[in-house]
Amino acid sequence: MAKLRLIAGLCAGLTFWGGLAAAATTVPPGKEVYRCLLTVDYRHVIPDHLVIIRDLATNQIEVMNPLIHKLYNRPLLAQVKDDNPDRLDFDWTVEDLPIKRGGQRRAVFNVTFIKNSASVYEGVILSGFKNDETSSGHCVPQS
């Protein structure tokens, strides 16, 4: 069973969350923003924070978390897979994710957001690894 760890400090020590939380409290017109906290363990690839930004006119979803911030310094556009009255499913890809054992991997993240409870479930599949990772948490709408 292959163990995967991000390069030490990849998600540690970022001032991302404080800055993004402050920025997320000013929601632009026509946007819906959720700040989510996820339960993760020390070997996580899934960061413990996720911000979901939904454009109400186009239904486009953007996501931001400490990993995306570190690698891209901007939100990533997600692909909506299903949007119905109960839930919203979407995913995004992080290319060239650095790993501790050297090299880089492609990671596909997927999220299910349960609308009535604001619960969130996130998973990731890494290329070249048999193990996937899942996490769950709760989101708070920003206004």
Nearest-angstrom CA–CA distance, 4 and 125: 12
Nearest-angstrom CA–CA distance, 101 and 3: 9
Amino acid 3: pLDDT: 25
Query: What pTM did the predictor assign?
Result: 0.79
Nearest-angstrom CA–CA distance, 113 and 85: 11
Q: Is the pLDDT of residue 78 over 70?
A: yes
Confidence of residue 129 (pLDDT cuts 50, 70, 90): confident
Confidence of residue 123 (pLDDT cuts 50, 70, 90): very high
CATH C-level class of 16-142 = mainly beta
Residue range 34-64, pLDDT digits in tens = 999 999 876 678 999 999 999 999 999 999 9
Poorest-pLDDT segment among 11-15, 35-39, 57-61, 130-134: 11-15
